[in-house]
Amino acid sequence: EVRLVESGGGLVKPGGSLRLSCAASGFTFSPYSMNWVRQAPGKGLEWVSSISGSSRDISYTDSVKGRFTISRENAKNSLYLQVNSLRAEDTAVYYCARDRASAGRYFYAMDVWGPGTTVTVSS
Amino acid sequence: QSALTQPASVSGSPGQSITISCTGTNGDVGGYNYVSWYQQHPGKAPKLIIYDVTNRPSGVSNRFSGSKSGNTASLTISGLQAEDEADYHCASYTSSSTRVFGGGTKLTVL
């Protein structure tokens, strides 16, 4: 079964840090681009960051640049998001999601999602 | 990186068809055929239902269809069923090599 499972969320004070992890199973992890997407309480989805299979291509939404760092360890089938200098507006469920691929072609669409991990930033 | 524009809510009766719009710019929706749509039930993770504007992943009902005209993409659900009641989110690749989502649309089946 193709599966993604996030961990590492929690309650943190403003200015604090966390390291979110996403464990992949049931598929060959290394070729796939991966994403972090977040959803604040009662709000829509917000794309946070993407990383290519080789880690060569990395991108971030403007509001997290300089504070968040995406990385991956293909040997461990794992995706990470280091979140620093946290603000109240970073409070959200954080999902990891895989970009779709088929017949050697990669798509800008997320076809596998984890259940999410909750980050709450509050004093 | 402004969010794509979706209506906050739409509604329809069982058996009817509804359409949800998703408006962006030449730098995202209008510039690429990389619009995707996601269905999200309360408390659940999103599910991909349309990719590359018009394509359905295997296992997604053919009652779901996508289209695009200029800077606006649309999701149409025909033959509405009770289980279609959910939030729907559009997304697009952008000219900055990033992604952007819409604000989400709540579909109510009356």
Q: Does the beta-carbon distance from A50 to B102 stay under 8 Å?
A: no
B3 contacts in A (CB within 8 Å)? 44, 46
Radius of gyration of chain B, Cα coordinates, nearest whole angstrom:
13
Q: Is B2 on the interface with A (CB under 8 A)?
A: no
Residue A102, pLDDT > 90, answer no
Nearest one of A107, A59, A4 to B45, comparing CA atoms: A4
pLDDT of residue A79: 98
pLDDT tens digits for range B45-92: 999 999 999 999 999 999 999 999 999 999 999 999 999 999 999 999
Residue with tokens 């990186």: B1
Residue A12, pLDDT > 80, answer yes
Mark B74-97 as b/e (b = at least 16 C-beta within 10 Å): bbebeebeeebbbbbbbbbbbeee
Q: What angle do CA A65, B92, B106 make, to 5 degrees?
A: 100
A106 falls in which pLDDT band (50, 70, 90)? confident
Q: Does the beta-carbon distance from A111 to B57 stay under 8 Å?
A: yes
A20 falls in which pLDDT band (50, 70, 90)? very high
Q: How much is the mean pLDDT over chain A?
A: 96
Say which amino acid occupies B104: G
* Cα–Cα distance measured from residue B38 to residue B75, given in angstroms and rounded to the nearest whole number: 10
Could you give phi then psi for residue A63, rounded to 5 degrees? -70, -15
pLDDT of residue A103: 79
Q: Is B54 on the interface with A (CB under 8 A)?
A: no
pLDDT tens digits for range A56-100: 999 999 999 999 999 999 999 999 999 999 999 999 999 999 999
pLDDT of residue A120: 98
Share of chain B above pLDDT 90, in %: 98
Which of B9, B99, B105, B107 should we substitute to test contact with A (largest number of A Cβ atoms within 10 Å)? B99
pLDDT tens digits for range B2-54: 899 999 999 999 999 999 999 999 999 999 999 999 999 999 999 999 999 99
